[in-house]
Amino acid sequence: MLKLPGLIDPHVHVREPGATHKEDWDTVTQAALAGGITTLLAMPNTQPPIFDEATLNISLDAAKAKARCDYGQYLGAGPANADIVASLAPKAAGLKMYLDSTFGELRLDDMTLWTPHFQQFPKSAPMVMHSESRTMAAAILFSVIYDHPIHIAHVSLKEEILLIKAAKEKGIKVTCEVCPHHLFLTKDSPLPQGEGLGVRVNGRTEVRPRLATQADVDALWNNLAVIDCFATDHAPHTLAEKDSDSPPPGFPGLQTMLPLLLTAASEGRLSVDDIVQRLYTNPKKIFHLPDQPETWVEVDENAVYEIKASDGFSRCGWTPFEGWQVKGRVTKVVLRGKTAFENGKILAESGYGRNVRD
């Protein structure tokens, strides 16, 4: 038996408010616990988006009633809410800035809209960028000019990881995360496909950032030391939506991240300590998260099994890793002294989870 600390996922799309047919605070925290995650940070691209006190409270009230693991809620940077989100910073996980095209309406196209957020958001509070390729380079420049540390979400490209490496070598305060789907899949991976008539694209491959090339994936693995965190970017959409003519981008990932990483560890591609640093030590520091006393995850390192969406707690009902053979199963999760998950069953009740900022 392997004992790990309660893991942290700093990038989760909960879907409540607004799209609870995909997921809600109850199902998402069940999937988290089953994946060994005891703290998740929720993204603000909900309906409505989380961009002021009223919308923040909608999400936090739902979380308080339903969440089974601990949580924080990000604020979304909008075109005219820099002062509002700055004043709400102590109640939030951090500020998420959508600088590139994504699912939902939060997007800051014009760089003049970035400036007030960089100027006003508290220096000690986390700022997370959805910024791909050259947009990422621009975000790093803003971080230098306005002297605000930033965290780059879901790094997927060789050019990105190499620039972050160079920025870190210059002493620039930039951190980053990489998602399992960008470590284990390429744009050419054979993914299960929907059978619906009239399907023009395989919606099940759609994710932002897109799946990249083998050279990009290799660059991520070869620069593991530059990667501060692993994060799922758990972005559930139903199979009917994924197999439709206009499939929304996003993959679920809460229950598959740890088994995939443990499998890679069993193959010698990284160590268990590398995993713990990136799913506990570093995110705890970067996102200023509190201790969870009497909290741990038990793993059967030798359990070999197939990933099946039907074992999942997410409401979305599918996984891009269907049928993959993995080694390493979460058998028990203890959260603040209470057994929250054991032998495939969720034991923590709705409402047991705590806001990391309370």
Query: By C-beta, is 228 or 233 nearer to Zn ion?
Result: 233
Query: By C-beta, is 128 or 340 nearer to Zn ion?
Result: 128
Q: Does 45 bind ligand DOR (CB under 6 A)?
A: yes
Query: Would you state the structure tokens that stand for residue 321, as one six-digit string?
Result: 């890793």
Query: By C-beta, is 101 or 339 nearer to ligand DOR?
Result: 101
- Mapped onto helix, strand or coil, the DSSP state of residue 21 is coil
Look at residues 303, 306, 305, 294 and name the one whose alpha carbon lies nearest to residue 334. 294
Cα of 159 vs its chain's centroid, Å: 21
Single out the residue of 55, 233, 258, 332 in contact with Zn ion (rule: CB under 5 A): 233
Beta carbon of residue 11, minimum distance to Zn ion (angstroms, whole number): 6
Beta carbon of residue 106, minimum distance to ligand DOR (angstroms, whole number): 10
Options 115-123, 136-144, 230-238, 301-309: segment touching Zn ion (CB under 5 A) = 230-238
Q: Does 211 bind ligand DOR (CB under 6 A)?
A: no
Query: By C-beta, is 78 or 250 nearer to ligand DOR?
Result: 250
Omega before residue 259 within 30° of 0, cis: no
Angle between helices 158-169 and 134-145 (to 10 degrees): 20
Beta carbon of residue 328, minimum distance to ligand DOR (angstroms, whole number): 26
Q: How many CB atoms lie within 10 A of CB 276?
A: 14
Beta carbon of residue 100, minimum distance to ligand DOR (angstroms, whole number): 8
Query: Would you state the structure tokens that stand for residue 32, as one six-digit string?
Result: 């988290």
Query: By C-beta, is 234 or 327 nearer to ligand DOR?
Result: 234
Query: Would you state the structure tokens that stand for residue 237, as one six-digit string?
Result: 């959409």
- 103's contact among Zn ion, ligand DOR, none, with CB below 5 to 8 A by partner kind, is ligand DOR
> Binding marks (x or -) toward ligand DOR, 127..146, rule CB under 6 A?
---x----------------
Q: According to CB under 6 A, which residues from 234 to 293 bind ligand DOR?
A: 235, 248-250
Residue nearest to ligand DOR (CB): 250
Beta carbon of residue 235, minimum distance to ligand DOR (angstroms, whole number): 4
Q: Compute how many residues bind ligand DOR; rule: CB under 6 A.
A: 12
Helix/strand/coil percent split, the chain, to 5: 35, 20, 45
What DSSP letter does each residue of 87-100 carry, written as one string?
A: HHGGGSS-EEEE-S
Q: According to CB under 6 A, which residues from 1 to 30 bind ligand DOR?
A: 13
Cα gap 27→277, rounded to integer Å: 27
Single out the residue of 208, 241, 276, 347 in contact with ligand DOR (rule: CB under 6 A): 208
Where residue 160 falls (left for φ over 0; alpha for ψ -120 to 50; beta otherwise) is alpha
Q: Does 207 bind ligand DOR (CB under 6 A)?
A: yes
Query: By C-beta, is 132 or 233 nearer to Zn ion?
Result: 233
Beta carbon of residue 34, minimum distance to ligand DOR (angstroms, whole number): 21
- Do you know the residue count of the chain? 358
Single out the residue of 38, 102, 175, 314 in contact with ligand DOR (rule: CB under 6 A): 102
Look at residues 138, 130, 137 and name the one whose alpha carbon lies nearest to residue 160. 137
Provide CB contacts within 8 A for 217, sequence distance 6+: 182, 183, 184, 185, 186
Please, where are the H alpha helices in 19-81?
25-34, 53-66
- Mapped onto helix, strand or coil, the DSSP state of residue 102 is coil
Contacts with ligand DOR by CB under 6 A lie at 13, 45, 102-104, 130, 207-208, 235, 248-250
Contacts with Zn ion by CB under 5 A lie at 233
